[in-house]
Amino acid sequence: MGSTNLNRPELYINRELSLLEFNRRVIAQASDETVPLLERLRFLCIASTNLDEFFEIRVSGIKQQIKYGSVQSGPDNLSATEVFNRVNQVAHELVQEQYRVLNDLITPALAKQKIRVLRRDDWIPSIDRWVKRYFNSNVLPVLSPIGLDPSHPFPRVLNKNLYFIISLEGKDAFGRETDLAIVQAPRSLPRVVPVTSEHTGGPNDFILLSSIIDAHVNDLFPGMKVTGCYQFKVTRDGDLFVDSEEVDDLLRALEGELPSRRFSDAVRLEVDDNCPEALSAFLLQKFDLHESDLYKVNGPVNLHRLDAILDLVNRPELVYPGFTPDIPPRLQKSENIFDTMRNGDILLYHPFQSFAPVVDFLKQAANDPNVLSIKQTLYRTGVDSAIVEALKDAARIGKEVTVVIELLARFDEETNIEMANDLQEVGAHVVYGIVGFKTHAKMCMVVRREGRTLRRYVHLGTGNYHSRTARIYTDYGLFTCDKDIGLDVNRLFLQLTGLGKAGKLKKLLQSPFTLLKRMLDLIDREARYALDKKPARIILKMNALVDPDLIRALYAASQAGVKIDLIIRGICCLRPGIKGVSENIHVRSIVGRFLEHSRVFYFYHGGDELLFCSSADWMPRNMHNRVETCFPIDEKRPRDQVMTYGLNNYLADNCQAWIMQGDGTYKRQKPGNSKPKSAQQIALEYFCE
């Protein structure tokens, strides 16, 4: 299939740099004047949050490799130091772009709509008076300034919290000459404070807590002179270390480890761009950081907190129009979801179709006297989850409820620990999956007595059982009572809760056992069809493509002549359009109103077309270190729906598509003289209107 060496480092893009490119596309949404104004602000806040997490997880990992002299490198053959230097350069560019977009584009556009974040220069006397009253009554009582001297060492600084470093002159009441102090912005106070129109004259005016503190910082140090007040924020390593081989109770180990995340190693320092170099250097030294870790910003260091404005401003014309998710007609007419499932599979396409049937499935199972047991995996659910409440109700009634909870769902550990405890208290069986393998599969199985037989009813999904994210992430969920799938899901639950060898599955594919091998076989099969001059086609939609074995297989298939379309939201380590290697591979990323999250795999397969949905991206961790599921879409109506609205419309999108270039950059596709086509908008109109 071609003699080219497919292991050459230049054929692979570094995953960290590819992830930063995704964030560049998110920032571009904030610059796009066709996007409603407040949504542009939301995209900018999302980009800020994304960068925080990038530093907490990815940059901290790179720094660990450098610290311990790791020589391990990925397919791109870049050392950890080389990766850090490139990441550092791009990250600084993105931060500068974030604040340029905020200051030059979004803030003026908001002001034209009479939505203002008032800076000190904008304050008129009535605002000054209001700020003083607010500071004295709401802020001052909860502030705890810490002067830095031998009896007050530099405080422990919380991860991602807003602080101020204050420079001072003079002596205090005890005769101490302290020239520096630290003030933490209280976490209990809102970062964006609305000011009524009687004081500002405007309908939607706000002042940042940082400005309020800065304006009255002198009141914290009576008799001394404040010579400077500067915001700063530290981002710390967000990974938790739990040695799974050394602990006998994962939940207790995690409970002990979680508090340390707030004070783990620092990886980034953000400061006001007017902060003197001497103070920046002092902070860098205190956090054991280098000049390259310093980010000077022209605006609030906690930029993502501006998303509070979206909840404080009631301007429907400045946000995406609301919509009512569709409920399939079969479910609308149905009083009993189990009866409906027996008449054929039901596919839900979130958020265009409602997540409510998934909740109803659990609620009906909890209350149905014929239901004997419920088994479910939970990765992220959110607080006050209706899914969890239904499981608790079922356990209280006396049904057999088994829940596999992934405690190591990053940043949701505390929520999941609390959920596990709540479920156990009402009598549910709770297990934490398999040590060393995250349980990332999304599946639920209900066993129901019908006459003399027991029937399994199954829900499989590409996304989490999370009602809120189901309104903003695109995902698929399949309801089926297919006998073979039910048997497969039962075997998977036996693996997760018990012991024994992996049994052979009839229809499902599973990581870490069969998914990778089957995908490689199917790619190779398409290549052989192409070599035999037969039609060959692959369409893959996912969040990330990183696994080198799968990338090499796609390269080989491209060399054989297979037409390959990849719809990759975020990380893509494959280079498209490389002569002799990937001319037949086209990669696009869709960035729009909803976060693309579904995973769909299509193979022409000699005319016997195969279509799968999956919980797994094509990354090494998903193939080797996680329990994942991949399920076929066999029935005609669901297949047609996925092909049209989940794949083909995305390939035709010319409004929200970014086309990947061979160097790893992306170019925005525009309609030009063609009719504008947005896959997400088409789905909204079809399902919701």
Per DSSP, the residues of 47-114 read HHHHHHHIIIIIIHHHHHHHHTT-----TT---HHHHHHHHHHHHHHHHHHHHHIIIIIIHHHHHHTT
Q: How far apart are CA 504 and CA 543, in angstroms?
A: 28
Q: How far apart are CA 6 and CA 2, in angstroms?
A: 9
Identify the bridge partners of residue 61 per DSSP, sorted by sequence position. none
Tokens of 9: 């480092």
From the list 199, 440, 459, 466, the catalytic residue is: 440
Q: How far apart are CA 146 and CA 157, in angstroms?
A: 12
Cis-peptide, bond into residue 351, ω within 30° of zero: yes
**Can you tell me whether residue 539 is helix, strand or coil?**
strand
What interhelical angle do 15-31 and 37-53 show, nearest 10?
A: 160
State yes or no: is 440 an active-site residue.
yes
Do 162 and 185 meet the contact criterion of CB atoms below 8 Å apart?
A: yes
- Maximal CA-CA distance, the chain: 90
Q: How far apart are CA 102 and CA 79, in angstroms?
A: 35
Q: How far apart are CA 435 and CA 605, in angstroms?
A: 37
Dihedral angle sign, alpha carbons of residues 273, 278, 283, 288 = positive
**Can you tell me whether residue 8 is helix, strand or coil?**
coil
Do 180 and 148 meet the contact criterion of CB atoms below 8 Å apart?
A: yes
Task: Find where tokens 């006397």 sit.
Answer: 125
* Sheet containing 146-147: order of strands: 146-147, 180-184, 163-169, 225-236, 266-272, 294-297
- DSSP state at residue 589: E
Q: How far apart are CA 178 and CA 515, in angstroms?
A: 63
Q: How far apart are CA 685 and CA 689, in angstroms?
A: 5
Angular region, 514: left φ>0, alpha ψ -120 to 50, beta rest: alpha
| N residues, the chain | 689
Amino acid in the structure at residue 74: G
Which residues are the active-site residues?
440
